[in-house]
Structure 1
Amino acid sequence: MDDLFSILNLKCIIKFMHLAGLAIGLGCAWMLDVFILKHIKKEITKEKYQTIEFVSKFVFTGLGMLWISGLLFIIHYYLYTPENLMNQKIWGKLFIVLILTVNGYFVHKLIIPKIKNSIGSTLLNTLTVYEIMIVTAVGTISFVSWLFPIVLGVAKTLNFTVSAIDIIAFYFVFLVVAAIIANIMAQIIIKSKVVVRK
């Protein structure tokens, strides 16, 4: 029993929770983005809305697992290997997860209710141009912010070699590029919205 709860095994358990949170959150968030994009011109039925609501709960579950495991990692490092807290990558990831959390709040408070109000119609007909841009922005932040922690986790060469500021700066550069691409797609959708109304 002592071996099961050894320092090494505790770290493995935390890492498993962290990876599971990333996998669940990223998979469901991207699935949600694709589902909404695919059905933006189609009628939102009660069943489609329930699917969106159901998948969104898994996104928040993944986010919760990220926070719990991330804080446990910090506590574990503080108690057993405090030198690891000098790894700036940890604080860069923490900042990005914070962005994810704020973005998740807007998904819950703005996007999900808008989709619910679209039941019986289409998102394209229900949402205003401004609201389409908000959905685009939130979706872009979600896409990039879920991807980045995985990239940072895989990039072991970044350990103790780059500052948190550099990581955050690169994150924002990547986010801006993604936002430009998403904005072009949104403009195409908006133009089709105008054509449909005509």
Structure 2
Amino acid sequence: MGGAVFLDLLLARYRRTVVTAELVGHVGWISRLVAIGLLILWISGIGFLLLYQVTEPQKLMNPKIWAKVTIVAILSINGLAIHRLVLPFLRQRIGHQLLSGINGRTKTALISCGVISAVSWTAPVVLGAVPQLNFVVPCTVILATYALVLVQAFLIATFVLRDAAGREASLSDLSDGIEEQPLHHAAPAT
């Protein structure tokens, strides 16, 4: 989870700077660690499901468990999208600003992958830390809340990136409109 959140924050930070081969190398290295973490998450989760099946089958009726499994499945699909689409895109951006000059559809896809990553790594941790939800809240309510958080996070990220792009464009327009003017000194009064 830490690696995934670090990558999301790193890319958000570097969205306005030129992508370097060094940055792409760091992102590739950390993303491999995140993939290993996701694999470990699946192995441990399946291990718990098998343990529950053998020792306490009633725990498999906990809707929270199935919500977590669904969220981790979404996280896994998003991870595939990141490795197949986002990382190659990042390599193509070496020498260019990350989000500069790309179409809205591509920007939306990048924001979506980042938001799904951040929310989906956090959600299972939060669900695991709140035992009060066990056998109380239906899976559909948990997943609806998850979906609502995804939508809110996407809107916030889109607004922040749009606002940042708008400020950059305004500053660029302002600096383009200002030409160097020689200083005129008033003639001394006689």
State the TM bucket, normalised to the shorter chain.
0.7 to 0.9
Number of aligned residues: 173
Match of 1:37 in 2: 12
Deviation at 1:32, TM superposition (A): 0.3
Residue 55 of structure 2, aligned match among 45, 65, 80:
80
Deviation of 1:192 (Å): 5.0
| Residue 120 (structure 1) aligned to one of 70, 85, 95 | 95
The 5-angstrom pairing of residues 24-173 of structure 1 reads 26-125=1-100, 127-173=102-148
- For residues 126 and 105 of structure 1, do their structure 2 counterparts lie closer, same or farther at Cα, with a shift above 3 Å needed? farther
Residue type at the aligned position of 1:123: L
Report the counterpart of residue 178 of structure 1 in structure 2: 153
Q: Is it true that 1:191 corresponds to 2:158 in the alignment?
A: no
Please identify runs of 4+ aligned residues in structure 1 that moved more than 6 A.
none
SS of corresponding position for 1:40: helix
User: For the structure 1 residues 126 and 110, does the alpha-carbon distance in structure 2 shift closer, same or farther, using more than 3 Å as the test?
Assistant: farther
Structure 2 stretches lacking a partner, 5+ long: 177-190
Contact kept, 8 Å, 1:88 with 1:163, in 2: the verdict is: yes
SS in 2 for 1:139: helix
- After superposing the two structures, state which structure 1 stretch, 77-86 or 124-133, moved more: 124-133
Q: Which amino acid aligns with 2:67?
A: G
Higher helix share: 1
- Measured in 1, the distance between the counterparts of 2:39 and 2:93 equals 28
Give the 3 Å change call, closer, same or farther, for CA 54–48 of structure 1 in structure 2: same
- 1:194 and 1:104 mapped to 2: Cα distance? 32
Q: CA deviation at 1:69?
A: 0.7
Distance change >3 Å, CA 189–CA 134, structure 1 → 2: farther
- Give the number of the structure whose alpha-carbon radius of gyration is greater: 2
What's the RMSD between the two structures over aligned residues? 1.7
**Alpha-carbon distance between aligned partners in 2 of 1:99 and 1:142, rounded to the nearest angstrom:** 9
Q: CA deviation at 1:124?
A: 2.7
Identity level (%): 35
CA contact (8 A) 1:53 1:112 kept: yes
Aligned-pair CA distance for 1:94? 0.3
Cα drift, residue 190 of structure 1 = 3.8
Distance between the aligned counterparts of 1:35 and 1:90, measured in 2? Answer: 31
- Per the normalisation by structure 1, the TM-score is 0.82
Q: Match of 2:100, SS?
A: helix
The CA deviation string for residues 3-41 of structure 1, in whole angstroms up to 9 with x for no partner, is xxxxxxxxxxxxxxxxxxxxxxx1011100111111111
